Structures are given as structure tokens and as C-alpha cells.
Amino acid sequence: MPRLAYGWVMTPTDPAPDPAMEMNAETSAETGAGASPSAPSGSKGERPGHGVLPDGEQASPEDADEAIPSPERAEVPESAGAPEGTPVEHRSALALAAMASIAVRGLDPARLALPQLDSAHLRVVGVIDTRGRHWEVHEALDDLTGAELVAEAEVLRRIGRVVDGGLLSFDVPRPAGFLRRNGACIQVRSHMAGRPINLMSLHPGPGLSAGLGKALGELHELPTAVVSEAGMPVHDANEVRGSWLALLDEAASTGKVPSSVLSRWEQALEDAALWRFRPVVVHGDMAAENVLTAGGTVVAMSGFGQAHVGDPAEDLAWIYSSAPLDCLDSIESAYDLARSEGVDRHLRDRAELVSEMSLARWLLHGVHSEDESVTRDAVAMLEDLADQVGDDPIVDHHEPRLASVPTDSALQAAGEMEAVTSEVPTPLRAVPRPEE
């Protein structure tokens, strides 16, 4: 019988379009939605909240842009920052666009554009300037998000230099300016053109499936200093494993995780062979909206706020849990070719464990926040997982489908992951894994 892997990703729900996006139909064809800061826009089809529309959808005139008054008319406050802890006032999209002109020299905003995102922690506004360049203005709504914007900016700058050196086949957003004013924390960055990848539309072979594997392999080949010297977390294999063990113990203490699932996870965590891997640069928030495609290839990655050095399985968990089974060979082969020393034999097993134990994080979030709806949701998912996997272990000790990494005495056994998020996990369908 095929084994099953239950997976999901943590994604915020899509926001409703901003009322400020009532735009002039005559200007939509002129500006489009996919321009980079270095060239006039020439593409259409962006989705509010993520900057792009799914394949096949087109932007309507109402999704175009709105003329922006000059910064003087926007009356951006000139006062110093507000005291720490002061609630962030709600600024209009026009006000944020005007503030962008202060943060970036030479940015003369002409009209609003997509994306338009308004969440509890972050507000994002797209802006087209008078030179046709497409920008994104990110406003942090709390101190933690502001700190993440600053840290992510340094990671993006360092990866951008690698891109400019021709060592990556995809681009990343380029931070252009930062502004703290009257309690506001504003970052301006380039807008990345492209559409979010649709894993379920992948086909086996050399097309986008191989392109995805190649892009992820290139990311994991980056020097770890790109992330570590930017001040992002660094975890060795021992720390990774130890973090998962601590999570297992805490989840077990709730009495809400099926015993068969606990046993399955415990066996995997106790298998030292599973935790022999070289830490790599990890994206940390792999999701469709953070992998942009055009012309059948991956053209950009974004969302590096959770980047760190750690287990590559964390990024691959999303792919293994949601990509079509017949595409996995193409993805894995391209990924392996992009890795200079191949990959470890238990990468897929750890990716499956990462995917499953994310439910334990969701359960603990519900318990800690005393949110009964979240707790019930997590318990239902865990029971569903128990029904799917039965008594099957995660590790079958079969011959690996991916190339193995040579034994290295410096490799250690263990693991860690980032703290629980408050975003609701979007369940993905259970993925049958073929017999090895």
C-alpha cells in the first residue's frame, strides 16, 4: 500500500481589495502591473494582497491604478517617531505612496498599483512612479514586523549581489529605502513581476517542475554567510532535532495527539541517521505567492522574512506535500543537479516529518491562546493524519531516490524550527507516496 503524507502551509487569508484601488481605466493599459523599478511596466494580471493573479486571470480596469497627489499635498508628518508602543495610525495608500518619495531619492509617485495588502501586522501598497517603475511600500504595524523588515532587507541585499554576479537563475526584491517617521516604519522595495506558482498544474519533465527544483537547489547552495552575517538565526542539525523533540514533548503533554502519530514522530526523531545533514540557507516561508513564475520558469522569490540557516527539508516539505506525484522525480533530479555535493538520503523523510509536525505547532498555538476553534481544527487534522498513516513509520530505510551526501564526521544529529505563527494553516490534500 502507498504511504501517505499529510501536509499544509501557513498562509494568511487573502485580504479584500483596498477601496483606494478605484482606478482610471485609461491609465491601466498604460502602466500595467508587472513592471520592475528599472523598466516601465508592460504586464498585467496581479492579485490584491500578493501582487499577481493566478494563471489565466487578467486584471480588469478597476484593478489598475489611481493618480497620486504630490508629497506636499499628502501632508506627510515631519515630526520625530512616536514613543515605542504607540498604536500605529491608519494611513491611506496615498499617504504611504507619498512617504515612499521621501524614503527613496528620485521616486516621484504617479499612481497606485497592485499589490494592496492590509493585514494585522503589515500593510503593502503598490506604486508606479513617473518613470514607469513599479515599487512596493511595506509598512510594519508593530515592532516585531518592523524588525523583520530590517533583517529581511539585509538578506535581500546580500542575495541580490549574488544574483547580480550571475550565480542565481531567479531574482529577489531589492530594498531601496527605509523611513521611520511619526511612528511609521516604512520600507520601499522593487516589485517582482510574475505569477505565483501553481504546484497542481506542474507536469513532469524539463519544464517548470525542473525549474522549481533548480531554483530551490540554487537557494540551498548559497553560502550560509549570506544569512548568518545578516543576523538571521543559525541552527545546526543537533539544534534542529532538539527543537522537534521539545515540540513533541509539549504536544504530547496536551493529550490531544493520537498515540499512533506520537509514536510515528518519536521513531523518526530517535533515528540518528535521519539527522545527518549539512545546514543550508533556508527560505523558511515557502508558499505559492513567494515563488513567482513567467515563461515556464521560476523568475523570482520573495518573502525572506523567516530566512535562516537550518534543515533544507523545511523548504521541501511544501513541495512534497502538494506537488503531483509524477513531478517529484523531475523536481528532485533538478534539485540534486543544483547541489554541488548532492543531498542526504533522508531529506524526503524529514520533509514529511516537518509537514506533519506543523500540526503540532498549530495545536499548541490554539492551546496557548485558549482558542477553542483553532484547537478543534488541529485535533481534527491530527485525527485525519492518524487515519491516513496508520502504524506506518516515516523512515522505511529504503534506497534513496536522491543522491546521498558523503559521510562527514563533522555532521551532527538534530534539529530546530521557527516559532509558531498566528496564521491559520491551509490544509493541503493528503499525498500518496509511491512504494520505494
pLDDT in tens, the chain (436 residues): 333 344 443 333 333 333 333 333 333 333 333 334 533 333 333 333 333 333 333 333 333 344 444 443 333 333 333 444 445 567 899 999 999 999 999 999 999 999 999 998 999 999 999 999 999 999 999 989 998 999 999 999 999 999 999 999 999 999 999 998 877 899 999 999 999 999 999 999 999 999 999 999 999 999 999 999 999 999 999 999 999 999 999 999 999 999 999 999 999 999 999 999 999 999 999 999 999 999 999 999 999 999 999 999 999 999 988 899 999 999 999 999 999 887 888 999 999 999 999 999 999 999 999 999 999 999 999 999 999 998 899 987 554 444 333 333 333 333 333 333 334 443 333 334 444 4
Question: What pLDDT score does 116 carry?
Answer: 92
pLDDT attached to residue 7: 42
**Which pLDDT score is estimated for 91?**
85
The predicted pLDDT at position 419 comes to 37
CATH number given to 197-433 = 3.90.1200.10
Distance of alpha carbon 174 from alpha carbon 191, whole angstroms: 8
- 3-state DSSP call for residue 61? helix
Give bridge partners of residue 432 from the DSSP assignment. 4
pTM of the model: 0.71
- pLDDT of 397: 56
Res 275: pLDDT: 96
What SS3 state is found at 169?
A: coil
| pLDDT for 89 | 67
pLDDT value, residue 311: 97
pLDDT the model gives residue 343: 80
**What integer pLDDT is reported at residue 88 of this predicted model?**
58
**How far, in Å, CA of 356 to CA of 86, rounded?**
39
Paired strand residues for 195: 293
* CATH code 3.90.1200.10 region(s) in the chain: 197-433
**Secondary structure, 3-state, 265-325:** HHHHHHCHHHHECCCEEECCCCCHHHEEEECCEEEEECCHHHCEEECCHHHHHHHHHHCCH
Q: What pLDDT is recorded for position 182?
A: 76
Amino acid of residue 45: G
Nearest by Cα to 245 from 368, 413, 5, 366: 413
Q: How far is residue 327's CA from residue 329's CA, in Å, rounded to a whole number?
A: 6
The set of residues, in sequence order, having a beta carbon less than 8 Å from that of 130 and lying 6+ positions away, is: 108, 109, 110
